[in-house]
Amino acid sequence: MEKQSLRDMKKEATRQALANAAFELALERGLDGVVIEDVVHRAGFSRRTFANYFSCKEEAVAAAAISYSNNDEFENLLANMDESITPLEILYRLMRMQLTEELFRKMRVLVSISKRYPTLEPFLLSIIHQFQAEGKEILVNIVQGRYPEQYTHLLVGAVYGAMLPLLDGSLNVRFPGQVTDETDEAMTFDQYLELTFNCLRNGF
């Protein structure tokens, strides 16, 4: 991963501010109540700036799930990996970094909103695909052709596919910081992550 320039960091900060404003308004008003003029006013930018980053309000709302605050963490992660590390272990460490409490909270909210407003769904799927594509790019850059392309492709698909039921609520998994009652027997996110990777390491 190349070191970001100050210009790139400013562009990402602008994109994030617009996306967060759109997301907040969607929570307050519903997607139908989100008006681009209100988004840019809350974020402190112009409508022209909005158009430079997003094609519509749905794209902006979905983009709020992406955080650019962990670029340094990604660089440290890559710098501390030696050539002997396996693709599965790379993805395990990446999952630990990508799948934050904030990400899951926002993604679950977005899934809920998309059920009421289907126009959001394509942009939500695009965000999920972006996370997967980022994971695959990092993996390919580290292994440098030491594994067949088919293997890395299938592995990435399996790992990220296992996370989808957590986003739509199909599996009852408890996330860090989530308040539950004493009768809740759901496994924790850490337990689910360990189960997923143990199955991939040892077979089902």
The domain 1-64: what is its CATH number?
1.10.10
Distance from C-alpha of 70 to C-alpha of 91, rounded to nearest angstrom: 16
In this prediction, residue 184 carries a pLDDT of: 65
Q: What is the pLDDT of residue 137?
A: 87
Q: What is the pLDDT along the chain (204 residues), one digit of tens a residue?
A: 455 678 888 999 999 999 999 999 999 999 999 999 999 999 999 999 999 999 999 999 999 988 665 556 666 666 667 777 889 998 998 888 888 878 888 888 898 899 999 999 999 989 888 888 888 888 888 888 888 888 888 999 999 899 888 877 788 888 776 666 655 678 888 899 999 999 998 877
Q: What is the DSSP letter of 31?
A: G
Q: Which residue has the tokens 């590390």?
A: 85
Cα 204 to Cα 95: distance, rounded to the nearest angstrom? 20
CB 161 within 8 A of CB 145: no
| Amino acid 181: pLDDT | 61
Q: Across-strand partners of 173? A: 187
pLDDT at 1: 47
Q: How far apart are CA 134 and CA 21, in angstroms?
A: 24
Give yes or no for a contact between 14 and 49, defined as CB atoms under 8 angstroms apart: yes
The whole-angstrom separation of Cα 47 and Cα 39 is 9
Q: Give me the pLDDT at residue 97, please.
A: 82
Helices and strands in the chain, H and E counts: 11, 2
Q: Using CA atoms, how far apart are residues 194 and 125, in angstroms rounded to an integer?
A: 25
Q: How many CA atoms lie within 13 A of 66 on its CB side?
A: 26
